[in-house]
């Protein structure tokens, strides 16, 4: 039997061969389930061969990247892929910047890639915040009433839960710096500057302020996302410039100091206010869209979310969701549609598991169900079942639509930000009324049940002959 390390090494090697080899890779990274390749020449990547590799669930092109879907083992495969590169190779982000041609498509893809790369690493701390917020929501006076809102435990849980969102610019300052290959400590410092109590006090008072004599709109940047991401992106170029021109003997002191000196007017006078306006516009636009689309909009999000994932456009909606939630403390449009999709994909995987007769394929389908149910990872079921066999996709979209329709009609929303899409995500409906939680559970059961029943009823076009067709 092949050892685990050898299996991952062989899989990594085969994937590299089919993306055009090491020399065709500008940059490689990974998320929860996918290897993300930025290639020099995308045309020489063999998509058909990649899809047939044992261990590859699917292939997608989104955000200017070739994305190879692996599933939960992606980090192990990535480690083997990464062994082929070192600091002297073309995997650095700086080389990407030099080689990239600016186009509208590339610009939009770059925006989605930047948002994803900056927000995804922050999920663990959002999870921590959600855990403590759930303590106040479930055990506090609004639900079980086991702890009062004046108790030390309630107060402690509240400010621990709130800390993540208040200091979000500091957290994103770090994650964005890692994404844009600039100093993480400078990213943290830039976020801290934007949240300094004096600056926040000026924002609260509406006082006038200037940076180097430049009139500056003082904004409360707590809980914002876009201002710090945009600022760190610009800072990556500023720091790169000073690292190149400052003499080595002075670089350790002058380069970071000059970088921040230049970033102060850029971040506080130009980029920060612009990012805040964009973020507010996104939030308001989402609310306005809900007004126009109403309950039907939630249903459509639930139905179309798998297609958004395949195109990479889901990150735009998730960014809008986070921005709206941070600003308003709740979200019942995108979040409700996403919840309907999350429960639907669990139901679809279970329906397929019950229908498939082949033992190997049944085992795979069940593993996809467990992955979605416990880990909240949807890609294995999406690509391994819905896209592969087509009919389960109908069950998935039907379940997402009907569950979303129920959420929309009952105006059920998320009042606790839970950054996972597994069974625990039902707790996102806590923090408001008991009716909201009950409707959240009912909507989830509808999505799950409809997707499972429709998938089972439509059947899986899977016979031994069909299996041979799929594998060839």
Read off the pLDDT of residues 204-240 as tens digits, 9 standing for 90 and up.
888 888 999 998 888 888 877 888 999 999 999 999 9
| pLDDT bracket for residue 42 (50, 70, 90) | confident
Global model pTM greater than 0.85: no
**Residue 405 has what pLDDT?**
95
**Residue 121 has what pLDDT?**
79
**Residue 430 has what pLDDT?**
86
Question: Higher pLDDT residue, 407 or 72?
Answer: 407
| pLDDT bracket for residue 295 (50, 70, 90) | confident
**Residue 453 has what pLDDT?**
97
**Residue 312 has what pLDDT?**
59
In tens, the pLDDT along 247-287 reads 888 888 899 999 999 999 999 999 989 888 877 776 666 66
Sequence ranges of the domains in the chain: 4-98, 120-282, 329-471
* 339 alpha-carbon distance from chain centroid: 15
**Residue 310 has what pLDDT?**
66
Say yes or no to pLDDT of 317 above 70.
yes
| pLDDT bracket for residue 187 (50, 70, 90) | very high
In tens, the pLDDT along 326-382 reads 777 788 888 899 999 999 999 999 999 999 988 888 888 898 898 888 877 777 788
**Residue 92 has what pLDDT?**
38
Say yes or no to pLDDT of 86 above 80.
no
Is residue 2 a contact partner of residue 49, using CB atoms and an 8 Å limit?
A: no
**Residue 287 has what pLDDT?**
62
Token duo for residue 111: 């925006």
| pLDDT bracket for residue 102 (50, 70, 90) | low
In percent, the amount of the chain with pLDDT more than 90 equals: 28
- Mean pLDDT computed over 40-53: 85
Say yes or no to pLDDT of 178 above 60.
yes
Q: Highest mean pLDDT: which of 1-5, 278-282, 295-299, 358-362?
A: 295-299
What angle, 0 to 180 degrees and rounded to 10, lies between the N-to-C axes of helices 434-458 and 334-355?
40
Of the listed ranges 22-36, 52-66, 388-402, 454-468, the least confidently predicted one is: 454-468
Specify the DSSP class assigned to residue 140.
S
Residue 153, classed as helix, strand or coil, is helix
Of the listed ranges 128-142, 145-159, 447-461, the least confidently predicted one is: 128-142
- Average pLDDT taken over every residue of the chain: 82
| pLDDT bracket for residue 105 (50, 70, 90) | low
Specify the DSSP class assigned to residue 331.
B
**Residue 399 has what pLDDT?**
96
**Residue 441 has what pLDDT?**
95
- Mean pLDDT computed over 11-23: 88
Is residue 195 a contact partner of residue 221, using CB atoms and an 8 Å limit?
A: yes
**Residue 108 has what pLDDT?**
61
**Residue 193 has what pLDDT?**
94
**Residue 103 has what pLDDT?**
58
**Residue 466 has what pLDDT?**
44
In percent, the amount of the chain with pLDDT more than 70 equals: 85
**Residue 402 has what pLDDT?**
97
**Residue 183 has what pLDDT?**
92
Q: Highest mean pLDDT: which of 65-69, 209-213, 310-314?
A: 209-213
Residues with a known catalytic role:
31
**Residue 36 has what pLDDT?**
82
Please give the class, per CATH, of domain 4-98.
Answer: alpha beta
């Amino acid at each position: 039997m092949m050892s685990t390390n050898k299996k991952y090494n062989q899989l990594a090697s085969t994937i590299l061969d089919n993306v055009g080899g090491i020399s065709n890779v500008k940059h490689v990274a990974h998320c929860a389930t996918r290897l993300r390749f930025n290639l020099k020449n995308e045309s020489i990547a063999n998509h058909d061969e990649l899809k047939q590799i044992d261990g590859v669930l699917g292939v997608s092109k989104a955000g200017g990247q070739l994305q190879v879907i692996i599933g939960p083992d992606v980090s192990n495969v990535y480690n083997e892929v990464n062994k082929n590169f070192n600091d002297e190779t073309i995997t650095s982000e700086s080389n990407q910047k030099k080689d990239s041609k600016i186009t509208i498509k590339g610009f939009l893809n770059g925006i989605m890639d930047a948002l994803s790369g900056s927000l995804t690493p922050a999920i663990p701390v959002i999870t921590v915040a959600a855990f403590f917020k759930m303590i106040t929501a479930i055990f506090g006076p609004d639900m079980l009433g086991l702890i009062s809102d004046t108790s030390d435990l309630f107060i402690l849980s509240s400010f621990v839960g709130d800390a993540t969102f208040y200091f979000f610019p500091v957290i994103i300052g770090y994650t964005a710096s890692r994404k844009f290959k600039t100093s993480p400590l400078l990213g943290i410092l830039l976020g801290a500057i934007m949240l300094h109590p004096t600056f926040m006090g000026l924002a609260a008072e509406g006082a006038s302020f200037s940076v180097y004599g430049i009139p500056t709109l003082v904004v409360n940047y707590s809980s914002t996302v876009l201002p710090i991401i945009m600022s760190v992106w610009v800072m990556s170029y500023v720091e790169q410039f000073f690292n190149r021109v400052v003499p080595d003997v002075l670089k350790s002191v002058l380069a970071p100091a000059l970088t921040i000196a230049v970033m102060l007017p850029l971040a506080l006078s130009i980029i920060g206010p612009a990012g805040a306006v964009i973020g507010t516009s996104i939030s308001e636009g989402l609310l306005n869209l809900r007004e126009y689309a109403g309950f039907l909009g939630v249903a459509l999000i639930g139905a179309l979310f798998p297609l958004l994932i395949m195109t990479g456009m889901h990150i735009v909606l998730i960014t809008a969701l986070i921005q709206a939630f941070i600003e308003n403390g709740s979200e019942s449009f995108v979040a409700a549609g996403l919840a309907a999709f999350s429960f639907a994909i669990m139901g679809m995987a279970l329906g397929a598991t019950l229908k498939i007769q082949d033992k190997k394929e049944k085992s795979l389908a069940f593993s996809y169900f467990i992955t979605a149910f416990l880990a909240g990872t949807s890609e294995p079921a999406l690509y391994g079942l819905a896209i592969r066999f087509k009919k389960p996709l109908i069950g998935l979209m039907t379940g997402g639509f009907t569950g979303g329709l129920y959420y929309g009609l009952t105006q059920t929303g998320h009042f606790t930000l839970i950054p996972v899409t597994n069974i625990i995500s039902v707790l996102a409906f806590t923090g408001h009324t008991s009716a909201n939680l009950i409707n959240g559970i009912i909507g989830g059961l509808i999505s799950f049940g409809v997707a499972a029943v429709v998938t089972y009823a439509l059947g899986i076009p899977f016979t031994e002959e069909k299996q041979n067709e799929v594998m060839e």
